[in-house]
Amino acid sequence: MILSPDELGSFLLARNATPHDLLGMHPAKSGRIGGLVVRALVRDAAACAVVELGRTEKIYPMERLAADGFFEVFLPRRRKFFAYRLRVTRHSGEVCEREDPYSFLPTLGAQDLYLFNEGNEHRIYEKLGAHLRTVGGVTGVAFAVWAPGAARVSVVGNFNGWDGRYHPMRTLGASGVWELFIPRLGEGEFYKFELRDGGGRLLIKTDPYGTRFEPPPGNAAIVCDPGRHSWNDAAWIARRRASAGTPDRPLSVYEVHLSSWRRKLEDAGCPLSYRELAPMLADYTTDMGFTHVELMPVAEHPFDGSWGYQVTGFFAPSHRFGLPEDFCWFVDHLHQRGVGVILDWVPGHFPRDSFALAEFDGTHLYEHADPRQGEHQDWGTLIFNYGRNEVRGFLVANALAWLDRYHLDGLRVDAVASMLYLDYSRKEGEWIPNQHGGRENLEAIAFLRETNRLVHDYHPGVLMIAEESTAFPGLTRPVADGGLGFDLNWNMGWMHDTLRYFTKEPVHRRWHHNDLTFGALYQFTENFISVFSHDEVVHGKKSLLYKMGAWHIPEKAANLRALYAHLWAWPGKKLLFMGGEFGQSHEWNHDRSLDWHLCSYRDHEGIRLLVRDLNRLYVSEPVLSYHDLDPRGFRWINCTDATHSTLSYLRLDEHERVFFAVVGNYTPVIRHAHRVGVPRGGFWKEMINTNSQYYGGSGLGNDGGKHTEPIAADGLGQSLVLTLPPLSTSIFKWTAE
């Protein structure tokens, strides 16, 4: 035996950090005789031999040094390395030949590692993780993981009995990356990484870059090629690219939680698959007139109750609905049907699950060590260390991977406010100021700017959307102009104010009129999307229908119809959470399907029909859909009539050849002969009346439109004398001849 007992013990006790120094083929001496030595550690092997490949195969039986399968053979006076395979005889008597994993060079180059450590390898997900490779004509899987604090790392899986002794990885210099190519492995193999940290603890971790995972409680990563789908959305992508730099375009988003949108009633209410959902969702959204769907997080997560916001597999679509290629098919199908797909992305925090990122290599690798920086108190999660190059690179690459692999049309970035401020949801003394003594998280701000810039560079036309509620300056200003570079921001202030108004009983609304008007003061300070999201219909907040300030369902429905018409007419892009479009009665429950049976009732179906017509009007009228972000496209008519709880405003194009007048009456009192000023004389066509019988109302309205009278009102030279139905919003259109 040439191997020393200590060296042998380091393998048998799974403590060897440099396996390629001893396993495989190496120059050696036995006494004074030089030659080559070949060593192998093979599970379930009764015998092993080296088979020299060439014109005539030579076989060199190996000495078994340990019952666990450690073998060695010394080949005296051999100087030149040669190609070989290992012939393994199993205890069952089965004989098989395989390449030696320790005979291959690293699959990552010095440039890859340099850029990764620098945080500038934007597609590091193509290098780290598990990838099907052909090396030297041999197929297999290249594994690589970043774990600089580990004393030893092994790949474990079904193929080696989950025993960390059999496939120890090598560390690649000072990069902190560990690597191993295992020949003859293929797609579908389950695997994890077994790490021994600096204190001797044994950790079993899933792959941070894994593209597919098994369900809990196993949570193993699965070798997978997510790029096999043959895409058919080239025309869609071309149109998207042509729209680059113009966020002011039609955008009406239907927010969806895939697991609870619809379920299989015949199968105990189980969720539908990606391939089952796609045609149904495409049919519904196209009929309803939505331009995009926004998916609540589909990245892998173990706990259904987190709704996807506590991610453990950042690069993997959830196993709940199918394979990664099924998710590709889902997106492709919606694109071919003319529907965009936006994904809810969660770079702000991650859960403490011991099998995932938390203390990945025994150190605070992905998170800050100091809990004043690294713990999210509200959600019990951990905060990424955005100042660490490799962590920032992980997240940037994650954003690009979803766009590269799955052709997504946008990312809605969750909880941006929690990323921007070091004192977010913290008391005095519970946070650490930045280098200038301020509360801004400078590292997170730099990360968001870099991500937005790179997304727009690599994927023109893709939208980056922020959920930010603190009026952080320059959120949607381009990075080149000193902004954060988002295309759009959720208008949380407008949403809260407007809902607060409509939750009041009408008799009290006159005292809260400013809730309807205040938003105009800041409406054009950012590029806003007006939202009624899932957050407003959970945790005891009631459904949108039940929020309305009325006692009976018909009046609640009338209020909700009036609110929706105001939403679609108001400047800003649109987003509505599923179920809201037909006035779901109950709060959203992630464990059950929406109450689709409600659409058989007049009040609920009327709301749905109105939303469909509002979408169609919005998309078909450039004044409404291409001027959402232009302050020149909005003017008040009368914003001061708090006494009667009426509101009126104009939407218009830059040439003033098309006007829309929006008039709301938010009390149950009919306003007869209500005079409203308008800027042009002639006929104003009634485009929407939320009190229409078609939508479940009484039918009282303005008979399809009104001609103006040459009487000044509201500071305008012409006026309309209107009948304002109770609890309604009406939309009128004037067009130049």
Tell me the per-residue pLDDT of 214-264, one tens digit each, with 9 for 90 and over.
999 999 999 999 888 999 999 999 999 999 988 888 999 999 999 999 998
So what's the pLDDT on residue 268? 58
- The per-residue pLDDT for range 524-577, each reduced to its tens digit, is 999 999 999 999 999 999 999 999 999 899 999 999 999 999 999 999 999 999
- Phi, psi torsion values for 269, nearest 5 degrees: 70, 30
pLDDT tens for residues 682-719?
999 999 999 999 999 999 999 999 999 999 999 999 99
The tens digit of pLDDT for each residue in 45-54 reads 999 999 999 8
Helices (H), 459-599: 492-503, 514-517, 544-547, 553-569
The string of pLDDT tens digits covering residues 44-91 is 999 999 999 987 889 999 999 999 999 999 999 899 999 999 999 999
Tell me, yes or no, if 595 is annotated catalytic. Answer: no
| pLDDT tens digits, one per residue of 639-696 | 999 999 999 999 999 999 999 999 999 999 999 999 999 999 999 999 999 999 999 9
As a whole-number percent, the residues of the chain with pLDDT over 70 amount to: 100
State the Cα–Cα distance between residues 82 and 103, nearest whole angstrom.
10
| 186-210 confidence digits (pLDDT tens) | 999 999 999 999 999 999 999 999 9
Looking at residue 246, its pLDDT comes to: 83
Condensed to tens digits (0 to 9), the pLDDT of residues 383-430 reads 999 999 999 999 999 999 999 999 999 999 999 999 999 999 898 889
Task: Tell me whether residue 467 is one of the annotated catalytic residues.
Answer: yes
pLDDT value of position 267: 60
Name the DSSP class of 245.
Answer: T
Cβ–Cβ under 8 Å, residues 505 and 547: no
What's the confidence (pLDDT) of residue 266? 58
pTM: 0.95
Q: Distance (Å, rounded) from C-alpha 346 to C-alpha 323? A: 21
How many residues would you count in the chain?
Answer: 737
Mean pLDDT of 105-117: 95
Whether pLDDT at 627 is above 90: no
The span from the CA of 155 to the CA of 152, in Å, is 11
pLDDT beyond 90 at 377 = no
Regarding beta strands 33-41 and 24-30, do their DSSP bridges make them parallel or antiparallel, or are they unpaired? antiparallel
Q: What is the set of domains in the chain, with CATH numbers?
A: 5-100 (2.60.40.10), 110-222 (2.60.40.10), 250-622 (3.20.20.80), 631-735 (2.60.40.1180)
Mean pLDDT of 632-641: 96
8 Å CB contact between 4 and 66: no
Q: Give percent of the chain above pLDDT 90.
A: 93
- Is the confidence at residue 172, as pLDDT, over 80? yes
Task: Choose the catalytic residue: 414, 450, 497, 653.
Answer: 414
Active-site pick, 375, 467, 603, 686? 467
Which amino acid is located at 555 in the chain? E
Average pLDDT over residues 515-532: 96
